Structure 1
C-alpha cells in the first residue's frame, strides 16, 4: 500500500504504479463513469427521475421503456442544461485548518428527442429516439494552507527497494515517482552517504520549515446517450418495452499543486542540487501538474414492463444490462522546482517521459434492476422507484498488463458493495400548469471501513419544476435539482500525519425544454364485409 499512497490524489484521482508507468485507471474512475443523473430532461429532473412504474415521457427510454406505451400523441422535444458546482472545502494540516470555497459553471445541450405514436386499431405501439445528457462531471476544488509538519517532497523519497546504484555509480529507479522528483530537483542523491552505508536521499523542503501549500483540482465533461426503443401494449393495460443505448462522453481531470517557501526559511545552505555547470541552491517553490483525459464509448440494453392495475395504480420493473465502456486515455505529469539560486529544474509532459502516455482499457458496469409503483388521479401523480446496483460487480479489462487489471478488479471486490437507490417524484396539475417535486438518495457503495476512515459519499438530490402550456401544441418545461454530497481528498500520502481535505459539494442543475405535440393519430378504419 505504500507505493499506492504515493499516487493518492483524493477521491478524484488515484495514480497507480505498474512497470514504470503512472496511470489514472482506478476504482474511483470506474465508479465515476458508471454513475448517472437521477433523471433526464426537464420533467424527470424535476421529479428526481421517478418513472419506473411507467410514465409517458421520453425519459422512459432511460429508466423503463414500457412507459412509452402510455403516450397518446407524438412529440418532438428539445432542451438545454446549466450547471453550477460549488465546493466548500476545509484543508486540514497537523494542528490547523483552513476553509475555502470554489465554483465551476457549464452550459450544454441537454436533450433532443422524438416520440411517434403509431396508429393502431387497438392497444398501443409507440417508438422513441432520444439524445440526452445522462451524467455530468463538472466540479472544482481549491484549497490553501500553511504546513510545518511535512511536504509533498517527503513523499517523493524512495524506499531502499525502489532504487539501485550500479558498479559504475549510476543511479537507477524502478518507481516513476522518485524518478520524476529526482529529475525535477525535488529530491537529491548524496553519493557520499550511499558509500557510507546511510540513506542517500534528502528532500527539497527542510523538515520543520513552514511552507504554503496551494491546490486546485478541476473536473469537466459528461456522458450522453443516444437511445432507440419502443413499447407495445401486449395485453389490456400491460405494456412491454425495450431500448438500446449508445453512450459517448469524455472526462477531463486537471490538478495543480504548489508549495511556496513564503517565509524564506529554506535558505541556500539547507539544500543544493548538482547540475551540469554548477549548483542549484535553496528551495523556493514547487509546482506539480497532473492531467488526464478519457474518451468513452459504450452501449447497453434496457427492457421493462408496466401494468396498470386500476385507473389509479401502476406497477413497473426494468432491467439494464451492464454498460460496456471502451476507454481511451491520455495522461501526463509535470514537476518543476524553483531555487533561490541558479534557476529551476523541470521534468515531464513530453512524449517518452515517465508519467506521460496513453492507455486503452475497458470497463463493465454492474447490472441495474429497477422497480416502481405510482398512484395517479386526474390532478395528482406520486411515483416511487427502487434501484438495486451491486457495485462490487464493476470490472476492468485490457489487452495488456493483465496483472495490473487483476489488481484493480481485486480492489473493486474489496472496496465496493451493493446499494439501493431511491427516487420519489410528485406532480400536481393546476389547469394548464403542472408542478413537480422530487427527492432521490443514492447511498455510498464503498464499504463501511472506507466511509469511516474518509467520509460517507452518499448523494442526495432535491428537485422542483413546472410545465406550462404555451399554446395548443407547445409546452414549456423547467426542472431544477440540487445534488449534495461529501468527499475526501488527500494531496499526497506516505508521510506521517498527511494533510487532507474534507469537502461539501453542491451541484445545482437547471434544465429547460420545449415540447411540440403532434395531433393524435387516427386509427385505421375497420372495413366490414357485406
Structure 2
C-alpha cells in the first residue's frame, strides 16, 4: 500500500509539473490564458541600442556618453559634454535549429529595424569655477529592448503521444474549452464511448503518426525615454529617466499530425492552428549615479522600478481533420470557435538593479563591467479585465522562476585619434529554478551568450560606429501540452538552438 501510494503521489506531481511547464513554454496552446509564460516573455530582455554600446557588450553602466546607457544607468546622460543626434539601423538574421525524435530541421528569418534614435542637448550652467553643477543634460530617444522575430519548424515520427492525448484527458476531467476540446469534437477527432469516456483513434491504433510544428513570431519591445542628467564637478553624475515601453507580440503556430504509413484506423490527419497577438504599453522610472574618483576609474549604480504594463491579448484557434470511415468514405472537417477571444490584464515586471565599473587604460583604451540583478520570480499578473486576481498564476511564477545575475563585459582600444576597436561579452542565465512543482526543469541550465565586436570612426562632429553581435541559446520545449491524467504517455521534448546574427550601424552628429 505504501509503495502504491508513493507511486500515485509521484505520478500526480509529475503530471502537475508537466502541465504547468507546458503553460510556461508552450504559448501557442495556452495562448488564451494569461500565465507565467507572459510574465517571463515581457520581463526578460537585453537592451540593444547603439553600435558602440552593442560592440562593447552593452557594458555601459559606468561609462555613459552613449544613449544606450540611459536604458541601463541614466546618470550616463550627465557625462555628455555636447549635444548629439544618433540613428542606428540594424540588419538581423535569426536561425533556429530543432531536434525532435531523432529528426533535425532548421529555419531562419531576416529583419531590418532601427535599434536606436536619440537626441541629447547639453546645457552648461553659468558656473565657471568647474565646481558645483557644471551642466544639465536632457535626452529624448528610443532604444529597442527585445526582438521577437523568428521562424522555427520541428518534425518527427511519434510512436507514443499526440496533441489529442491532452484534449481527451482534459475532457475526461471536465475541462472543456471552446478553443480546444470543442474543436476536436466538431472535427470527429475527439470521441466518446457508451460509458461517457472520451478517447481518440490514435490511442486505439497505437500511434505511429508523423508530426510537424511550425512557429512564426513577430514583434518587439521598444522603450521611449525622457531623461535628465547632471554633472557635478566632473566627479559625480546623477540621472533620472521616465521610460514608456511599447509591446507588440504576434505568434502563429501550426501543428500537423498525419498517418503517413496508413497504419491507424479512421485517422488520416489533423491540423491545429493557433494565433496570439499581444499589444500594450507600460511605464517605468530609472535612477542612477556615476562616481569618478580618478581619471582612470568610474563606478556606477542604478535601479529600475518595475515596468507597469497594461496588455491586451487577442487569441484564436482552428482545427481541421481528415477521417476515413468503415464504408470507405473520407470526410474533411474544419471547426472554428464562435468568437475570437480578447482579454485585458496588467503585468508588473521585476525591479532591476545594476552595479558597474570602468577603467581607462593609459588613455588608450578602457575596460568595463556591469552586473545586473533581476528576480524573475517577483513578476506578477494583475487586474484581469473580468476582475480575475491571478493568485494561483502568481504563485506558479514564484515557484518556477528565480533571481539571476546578468553579466556584461566590454572593451575599447583606440587605434588612432579617429579609429577604435571594440569587443564584448554578455551572459544571461536561465530564469528557471532548478526544481519546481516537484521535478527538475529542463531549461534550468539554459543560458543566453552574446559575443560582440565593433569598429568606431570619429571625425570632428561626425561619427560612425558598426558592430556585430552573435547570440546563442539552447532551450527545450514540448510541441504540445502534457495530458492531465496518467493513462497517457508524456510528450517528448524538442531541442531548439537559436542563433541570432546582428549588424548595427550608428550614424551620429555632435554639436
Pick the TM interval, shorter chain: 0.7 to 0.9
- Residue from 160, 179, 187 that aligns with 1:184: 187
100 and 452 in structure 1: CA distance in 2 versus 1, 3 angstrom threshold: farther
Say yes or no: does 1:389 pair with 2:374: yes
Say yes or no: does 1:487 pair with 2:508: no
Q: Are the counterparts in 1 of residues 424 and 453 from structure 2 also a CA contact under 8 Å?
A: yes
73 and 174 in structure 1: CA distance in 2 versus 1, 3 angstrom threshold: closer
- Residue from 38, 42, 50 that aligns with 1:29: 38
For residues 86-138 of structure 1, give each alpha carbon's deviation from its aligned partner in whole angstroms, at most 9, with x where no partner exists: 1121102xxxx111111112111221111111133341221111112111112
Please identify, of 124-133 and 442-451, the stretch whose mean Cα deviation from structure 2 is larger. Answer: 442-451
Instruction: Tell me the residue number matched to 2:72.
Output: 63
Equivalence map 1:72-471=2 (5 Å): 72-92=81-101, 97-122=102-127, 123-158=134-169, 162-163=173-174, 173=176, 177-190=180-193, 193-194=194-195, 199=197, 201-203=199-201, 206-266=204-264, 270=265, 282-340=266-324, 341-351=329-339, 356-377=340-361, 378-400=363-385, 405-431=390-416, 432-449=418-435, 452-455=440-443, 456-469=445-458, 471=459
For residues 273-327 of structure 1, give each alpha carbon's deviation from its aligned partner in whole angstroms, at most 9, with x where no partner exists: xxxxxxxxx2211100111000020011111111111010011101111000111
Q: Are the counterparts in 1 of residues 50 and 68 from structure 2 also a CA contact under 8 Å?
A: yes
Please state whether the residue corresponding to 1:8 is helix, strand or coil.
Answer: helix
- Total equivalences in the alignment: 477
Q: Are the counterparts in 2 of residues 54 and 64 from structure 1 also a CA contact under 8 Å?
A: no
1:201 to partner: Cα distance: 3.5
For residues 114-165 of structure 1, give each alpha carbon's deviation from its aligned partner in whole angstroms, at most 9, with x where no partner exists: 11111333412211111121111122221111122232223321457545xx
326 and 173 in structure 1: CA distance in 2 versus 1, 3 angstrom threshold: closer
209 and 56 in structure 1: CA distance in 2 versus 1, 3 angstrom threshold: closer
- Residue from 490, 494, 502 that aligns with 2:495: 502
Report the Cα distance in structure 1 between the residues aligned to 2:291 and 2:433, rounded to whole angstroms. Answer: 36
Report the Cα distance in structure 2 between the residues aligned to 1:227 and 1:174, rounded to whole angstroms. Answer: 42
65 and 323 in structure 1: CA distance in 2 versus 1, 3 angstrom threshold: same
Q: Are the counterparts in 1 of residues 28 and 253 from structure 2 also a CA contact under 8 Å?
A: no
Report the Cα distance in structure 1 between the residues aligned to 2:384 and 2:24, rounded to whole angstroms. Answer: 28
85 and 349 in structure 1: CA distance in 2 versus 1, 3 angstrom threshold: farther
Instruction: Tell me the residue number matched to 1:279.
Output: none
Instruction: Tell me the residue number matched to 2:25.
Output: 11
Please state whether the residue corresponding to 1:72 is helix, strand or coil.
Answer: coil
Q: Are the counterparts in 2 of residues 329 and 359 from structure 1 also a CA contact under 8 Å?
A: yes
**Which has the higher Rg, Structure 1 or Structure 2?**
1
Q: Are the counterparts in 2 of residues 216 and 256 from structure 1 also a CA contact under 8 Å?
A: yes
Please identify, of 252-261 and 471-480, the stretch whose mean Cα deviation from structure 2 is larger. Answer: 471-480
Q: Are the counterparts in 2 of residues 380 and 426 from structure 1 also a CA contact under 8 Å?
A: yes
1:76 to partner: Cα distance: 0.6
Report the Cα distance in structure 1 between the residues aligned to 2:466 and 2:256, rounded to whole angstroms. Answer: 42
| Unaligned 5+ runs, structure 1 | 17-21, 164-171, 271-281, 519-530
443 and 200 in structure 1: CA distance in 2 versus 1, 3 angstrom threshold: closer
7 and 239 in structure 1: CA distance in 2 versus 1, 3 angstrom threshold: closer
TM-score when scaled to structure 1? 0.85
| Unaligned 5+ runs, structure 2 | 1-14, 128-133
For residues 194-248 of structure 1, give each alpha carbon's deviation from its aligned partner in whole angstroms, at most 9, with x where no partner exists: 2xxx735433564324211111112111011110111112355111111111111
Instruction: Tell me the residue number matched to 2:463.
Output: 475
Report the Cα distance in structure 2 between the residues aligned to 1:361 and 1:504, rounded to whole angstroms. Answer: 32
Q: Are the counterparts in 2 of residues 256 and 288 from structure 1 also a CA contact under 8 Å?
A: yes
Report the Cα distance in structure 2 between the residues aligned to 1:405 and 1:126, rounded to whole angstroms. Answer: 42
Please state whether the residue corresponding to 2:241 is helix, strand or coil.
Answer: strand
